[in-house]
Amino acid sequence: MTILMLCRSATATMAQIDTAPVATWLEQADNERSRDTSRFRLIMEQLRQHEDQLTSAQRWHFRLLDARLLVDEGDYARAEPILHDIIGHSGDLSLAFRARAALIRSKFLSRDYVSAYALANTLMAELPRVTDPQARLEGMSQVIGMLDRSAVGQYDLALAYARQMKAWPPSPKTDCYASAYETTSLLYAGKLTAADPMFQAAIDACVAAGESHQADALRLDLASEMIDEGHAGQSIAYLHSISSEIRASGYTPYLASLPVTLAQAYLSLGDAAKARKFALDSIAITGADSPLWTLRAAYEVLYQAEKKLGHDAAALAYYEKYVAQKTAAMDDAKAIALAYQTVRQQVSSAKMKLDALAKENNILQLRQALASQAQKTSQLFNALLLALLAFFVLAMLWLWRSWRRFRWMAHHDGLTRVCNREYFVVQAKRTLRQLHRTNADACLIVLDLDHFKRINDTHGHAVGDQALRSAAMIVGRELRPNDLLGRLGGEEFGILMPDRPHDEGLEAANRIRQALASTPVIVDQQVTVTVSASLGLASAACSGYSLRLLLVDADAALYRAKEGGRNQVAAHAPLAESVVSC
């Protein structure tokens, strides 16, 4: 059993209500609000009594409905904190959206038009995020209602929104509201006549959806349009035909609209008495201090009817009331228009600021991109330069090292790594020239390995090579840094010893000979060879500073050392030649 049935039944009991699911009550309350005001209030009353049985989510829903009831009753001061609470704390996107829509309505009805239009703007921005059909419908309805007014005149925008609604997933309720808003937007814009089938189609859609308030609003609009088009008689007949539905709604604005529209129609037909009767009926429904437009319309009819009936005093009295209502309505319209324009201005200036910011941002991004591009180019250029430089340095290094290697190879003997003959001769001549200039001492030794042929023959050429290398090393170890050692050819070496007198030269030659003779050469850790040498010495003091003469004299001494039995040193002396043996 539904709450609707319970409410219709005069015998409804609390026990019956207890059995109905609370979620169904809430849903029915939602539906009945736009269908039957008294039923809506009754369901709300029942829900209030069972508030403690509601879940947390249901309680938030109930609070929304309660706040909307307060707005309907004009108690905005109590309604708005509840709505703010739902927006801030319910944690339900759809419910918060619906609360915003209700808040806008509250702001609008309490004549805080600037807040209402500003909130409406925010609401439309949020709409795409909301999926709940009821929430979307409530939000859109609220906004369209605020655009579809003569003070604002945004009929085209309202029409566009109405047509957007038509594209939503179809439902009887959506069809009703979308058709109704499309019809009224066209009607208020002066683009629709009473005869247009769109009117009846919209009414039928709302009847089919059970949306009686919306159907009644359309019917009353249609009746007014008939009068405006000069068909007052038709309007009266139509109003009588719908009067039972209007009365059944129990909704004060429509209950008052019915008689006042009839009054306008009768006045238009010249029936002042009936016009006066219906106008007074309307005032009786709303009271004399209602904010509804019907009061202004009723006073206007009464003023004209009384005038027609010749009741000048009554006419004047109603005229004054009419003017007071009209002035208030105009002030209100001005305030609405101003609020709308103010918010529009704020929105467009905020948009301009946003656009300017976006442009600035774009320029900044472009600049950054350019700067980063320039930085990349410069980095690339630097890297290239560095690579080139590194390549150049490496090439130079390679060239320098190659040059040094070639020069070394040109000056040295590849096997023994001592100076080759040519370089030895050049260097020795240069040194002797310098020594000659200061009459300094110098000795030249010619060293020849003994019986080297035997080594080659006995152990092979490779062992001979190794023995030659070792002999050169052993000799080198016995020399001073400024002594000059060179391979003169085969197994023969030359040694120039600057700043050495004859005796010291002899001593050095003997040390060399001894070192050679006492150092066995081990080849491949297998063959052990002992190499001895014979040395011939000539000194500058005896032979002069000519390399050629020094070599001749040293060779002669060497010859004698060989002759003397090898492994010995022989020195050339001007007066007497001496042979020093081991």
Ligand X SMILES: Nc1nc2c(ncn2[C@@H]2O[C@H](COP(=O)(O)OP(=O)(O)OP(=O)(O)O)[C@@H](O)[C@H]2O)c(=O)[nH]1
- Rg for the chain (alpha carbons), in Å? 62
Interface mask toward ligand X for 473-512; x: CB under 6 A: -----------------xx---------------------
Q: Closest distance between ligand X and the C-beta of residue 451, in Å?
A: 5
Residue 112 vs 448, nearer CB to ligand X: 448
Contact with ligand X (CB under 6 A) among 112, 221, 450, 555: 450
Structure tokens at 464: 């001979």
CA distance 72 to 85: 19
Let me know: does 287 contact 253? Beta carbons within 8 Å: no
Q: Closest distance between ligand X and the C-beta of residue 557, in Å?
A: 14
DSSP state of 442: E
CB environment 461-492: b (16+ within 10 A), e (fewer): eebbebbbbbbbebbbebbeeebbbbbbeebb
Residue 182 vs 450, nearer CB to ligand X: 450
Identify which range of 11-19, 228-236, 270-278, 459-467 contacts ligand X by CB under 6 A. 459-467
Amino acid at 463: V
Interface mask toward ligand X for 98-127; x: CB under 6 A: ------------------------------
Contact with ligand X (CB under 6 A) among 162, 232, 239, 464: 464
Q: Are strands 527-530 and 520-523 parallel, antiparallel or unpaired?
A: antiparallel
Give, as ranges, the residues between 122 and 181 that touch ligand X (CB under 6 A): none
Identify which range of 107-115, 460-468, 553-561, 569-577 contacts ligand X by CB under 6 A. 460-468
Let me know: does 65 contact 102? Beta carbons within 8 Å: no
Please tell me the number of Cα atoms within 13 Å of 457 on its side-chain side: 4
Contact with ligand X (CB under 6 A) among 161, 452, 493, 545: 452
Give, as ranges, the residues between 217 and 276 that touch ligand X (CB under 6 A): none
Identify the burial level of 198 via C-beta atoms within 10 angstroms of its C-beta, where 0-12 means exposed, 13-18 middle and 19 or more buried.
middle
285 membership: H or E segment, kind and range: helix 272-286
**Interacting residues of 350 by C-beta distance below 8 A, sequence separation 6+:** none
Contact with ligand X (CB under 6 A) among 451, 504, 549, 559: 451
Q: Closest distance between ligand X and the C-beta of residue 582, in Å?
A: 16
Identify which range of 37-45, 144-152, 305-313, 446-454 contacts ligand X by CB under 6 A. 446-454
∠ CA(374), CA(376), CA(381), 5° rounding?
Answer: 95
Q: Closest distance between ligand X and the C-beta of residue 480, in Å?
A: 26
Residue 421 vs 562, nearer CB to ligand X: 562
Per this entry, what is the length of the chain?
582
468 binds ligand X (CB under 6 A): yes
Contact with ligand X (CB under 6 A) among 367, 461, 477, 480: 461
Q: Closest distance between ligand X and the C-beta of residue 482, in Å?
A: 27
448 binds ligand X (CB under 6 A): yes
Dihedral of the alpha carbons of 9, 11, 12, 13, in degrees to the nearest 10: 180
- C-alpha torsion sign, points 111, 115, 118, 122: negative
456 binds ligand X (CB under 6 A): yes
Residue 118 vs 521, nearer CB to ligand X: 521
Contact with ligand X (CB under 6 A) among 465, 478, 499, 577: 465
Q: Which of 149, 128, 150 is nearest to 140 (CA)?
A: 128
Chain contacts with ligand X (rule: CB under 6 A): 415, 448-453, 456, 461, 464-465, 468, 490-491, 562, 566
